[in-house]
Amino acid sequence: MAYSISRRALLRATTASAALAGLAKLAPLHAAPRAAPEAAPLTQNRAPLAPQPFQPLPTGAIKPAGWLRRQLEIQARGMGGRLDETWPDVGANSGWLGGTGESWERGPYFLDGLLPLAWQLDDPALKAKAQRFVEWTLASQRPDGMFGPASNDDWWPRMVMLKALTQYHELTGDPRVLRLMTAYFAHQLKALPARPLKDWGKFRWQDQVVSVIWLYNRTGDASLLELAALLKRQGYNWQGLFADYPYRTKTSKQAIGLDKPDVPGEVPEGLKDPALSVHGVNNAQALKVSPVWSVVSGDAADRAAIQRQLGALDRYHGLPIGIYSADEHLAGRSPSQGVELCAIVEAMYSLEQSLAITGDAGLADRIERLAYNALPATFTDDMWAHQYDQQPNQVQCVHGPGPWTTNGPEANMFGLEPHFGCCTANFHQGWPKLTTHLWMASADGGLAATLYAPCTVQTRVSDVPVILQQETDYPFRHAVTIAVKPERPVTFPIRLRIPGWSEQTTIRVNGRALVDQPHQGFVRIEREWRTGDRIELAFASRPRAAVTSEGWTSFEDGALVFALPIDETWTKVRQRGLTADWEIRPASRWAFAVKPDTAIERIERPVGPVPFSRRSPPVVLTAEAVPIAEWPLVDGAASPPPAAAKRSGSGRKIVLLPYGAPKLRITAFPSRVL
Ligand SMILES: [Zn+2]
């Protein structure tokens, strides 16, 4: 597999001065900030970057509707919009606002989600909060190009801030962003040889390459391709790691040196390669590494390598919720192992980027599995408290020992910053970036429905303003209606993703059924679209049992995973400003076995004000379960489901809720009863 950028690109690569020349040419176009919906989306990468089937629409072009809007409003009313009022790390004394407080990743993390949230909800107060961070950051740049808090020169937090600034530019067209990025990248190209990437930045280099590609597409400055190649050379070789994957079992502290005390003056054990390469969040960010690099290398093998990576993580560490276990490090396949909230939102973002580059509809199925199950599961209904680690089989959330590889006693409690505050700062990007990626521009000048949720798209096709209104209660229902509203009739292709689980899909345009077969998971409809045109999609899903190689059974229907809710007793441990820390203890039996061939019934109910709440689940399944005698707690968690369990009572009907709703639950059941 080739890692080098093309010869042509290298020959074209010049110094940073050409960068500023390229920028000067571009600047008049961006002189006045303008709203994103007026901007035509980028449909193709600038040569010599490889073409890709889809490009994300500019942040802000897609607004949430229906239940998704309610979910974003919950986030805005909870910690998502008010964290700065109660958590000093992103408050007025943040280093990213010029203060003397936290000056590393937390300010940029917060902004990375706050910006799209504020504009998607068109909320002036949230926009003002976000703008303060942007203004300080843009004004912080030094003559040598470095920016950000002077007290911390780590490359890593700047990678996060670049993600935020590119969104800000898409939202406003503010030309200062291009100037800052151009000067910073020129600085980095000069400085990296003597001050190379280390620890987090070394393992997350691909996130900066995303921003480098973003700027190259806008300025054409060839030195950016040189910088991309340098980041690759200094960064960790993820693709090499997965070529012959060594980490096949639950990580032990001994295996990564964490059983030894750190030696003063040396790199801490947790920041050395063995620990960082099995780190859950690093792996989530690295899901994008091969597709992103394929844009620079042009190598199809790079583009395809994400499948090997996902395959290895599924096989050795896969959980039934679309991600691997990692608490904090890769933790094997037991459904009682945890996965960190940062890993959920970073995996979603990685897969959103990878979906655009590969056009692989299977990645979209996985994004929905994460977004519609793992993401809501790890928050309280009001999004004022979250967990660090969630477990598919989560029978209590209390302070104490856990089955974790390396995490501490607060790891699965709900609160302000249980275990460690990274997730408190980083979770904000989850729902807003899902919204950003519901539709994408296609390379042939059309639009693609890549993920399904209610939304309104406002964009341009062939220079004609186009609005798409997507009405649906997906994933709680399996029908989607899209109203197409171009300002005047215009011909372009619309692609519709067919989820891998849909047993039969019906597509109607203005009432007439289409017979087109999907190609690579998408059906393409090219025609002259006029206002009043309607596309109706109906997917067919039957509730189904999924059985793992270990004999554990879990239940799914469409994009949703279902779980047995355990009655919950909540205890406030301490008040934390506007929020609190909580323990949850079980108040009902959870030791059941369910046979994979159980009769399953699906019952639909109205979608409530809180979409993922056990108080008003929009859909439930029923199944026949058998109470079992022995399913012990080990380290405060349910042990892995027993291979064969002894019956301890008569069978009964149980009701399963969408996984994201209950906070105590069983998701993977033993299936053999003696
Ligand atoms: Zn985290």
Tell me the CA–centroid distance for residue 108 and ligand 1, in Å: 14
Cα–Cα distance measured from residue 668 to residue 334, given in angstroms and rounded to the nearest whole number: 9
Poorest-confidence range of 22-36, 477-491, 597-611?
22-36
Tell me the CA–centroid distance for residue 356 and ligand 1, in Å: 25
Contact 80, 381 (CB under 8 A): no
Tell me the CA–centroid distance for residue 345 and ligand 1, in Å: 9
Res. 586: pLDDT tops 50: yes
Amino acid found at 219: T
**In DSSP terms, which residues pair with 470 in a beta bridge?**
455, 482
Contact 394, 412 (CB under 8 A): yes
> How confident is residue 113, by pLDDT bands cut at 50, 70 and 90?
very high
Tell me the CA–centroid distance for residue 332 and ligand 1, in Å: 19
The answer to pTM > 0.85 is yes
Tell me the CA–centroid distance for residue 342 and ligand 1, in Å: 4
Tell me the CA–centroid distance for residue 419 and ligand 1, in Å: 9
Tell me the CA–centroid distance for residue 281 and ligand 1, in Å: 7
If you average pLDDT over residues 634-655, what whole number do you get? 95
Res. 17: pLDDT tops 70: no
Tell me the CA–centroid distance for residue 404 and ligand 1, in Å: 15
What integer pLDDT is reported at residue 43 of this predicted model?
A: 87
**In DSSP terms, which residues pair with 528 in a beta bridge?**
491
Tell me the CA–centroid distance for residue 420 and ligand 1, in Å: 7
If you average pLDDT over residues 134-138, what whole number do you get? 98
Cα–Cα distance measured from residue 130 to residue 110, given in angstroms and rounded to the nearest whole number: 9
Contact 429, 112 (CB under 8 A): yes
- Grouping H, G, I as helix, E, B as strand and the rest as coil, residue 575 is strand
Task: Report the Cα 1 to chain-centroid distance in Å.
Answer: 27
Cα–Cα distance measured from residue 129 to residue 226, given in angstroms and rounded to the nearest whole number: 36
Tell me the CA–centroid distance for residue 423 and ligand 1, in Å: 3
Tell me the CA–centroid distance for residue 366 and ligand 1, in Å: 20
Cα–Cα distance measured from residue 340 to residue 324, given in angstroms and rounded to the nearest whole number: 10
Task: Report the Cα 417 to chain-centroid distance in Å.
Answer: 20
Cα–Cα distance measured from residue 302 to residue 223, given in angstroms and rounded to the nearest whole number: 22
Res. 575: pLDDT tops 70: yes
List the one residue out of 407, 297, 402 whose CA is nearest residue 343.
407
Res. 483: pLDDT tops 60: yes
What integer pLDDT is reported at residue 517 of this predicted model?
A: 79
Res. 258: pLDDT tops 60: yes
Res. 37: pLDDT tops 60: no
Res. 8: pLDDT tops 60: no
List the one residue out of 348, 240, 249 whose CA is nearest residue 293.
240
What integer pLDDT is reported at residue 12 of this predicted model?
A: 36
> How confident is residue 27, by pLDDT bands cut at 50, 70 and 90?
very low
What integer pLDDT is reported at residue 39 of this predicted model?
A: 64
What integer pLDDT is reported at residue 34 of this predicted model?
A: 42
> What would the pLDDT profile of 207-223 be if each residue is shown by its tens digit?
999 999 999 999 999 99
- Please give the helix or strand (H or E) that residue 207 lies within, else none: helix 205-219
Tell me the CA–centroid distance for residue 157 and ligand 1, in Å: 14
Tell me the CA–centroid distance for residue 295 and ligand 1, in Å: 28
> What would the pLDDT profile of 176-217 be if each residue is shown by its tens digit?
999 999 999 999 999 999 999 999 999 999 999 999 999 999
List the one residue out of 422, 437, 421 whose CA is nearest residue 350.
437
Q: Mark 343-353 as b/e (b = at least 16 C-beta within 10 Å).
A: bbbbbbbbbbb
Tell me the CA–centroid distance for residue 408 and ligand 1, in Å: 13
Tell me the CA–centroid distance for residue 344 and ligand 1, in Å: 9
Contact 589, 621 (CB under 8 A): no
- Please give the helix or strand (H or E) that residue 466 lies within, else none: strand 464-472
Tell me the CA–centroid distance for residue 613 and ligand 1, in Å: 23
Tell me the CA–centroid distance for residue 387 and ligand 1, in Å: 9
What integer pLDDT is reported at residue 515 of this predicted model?
A: 80
Mean pLDDT, all residues of the chain: 94
What integer pLDDT is reported at residue 21 of this predicted model?
A: 41
Contact 277, 432 (CB under 8 A): no
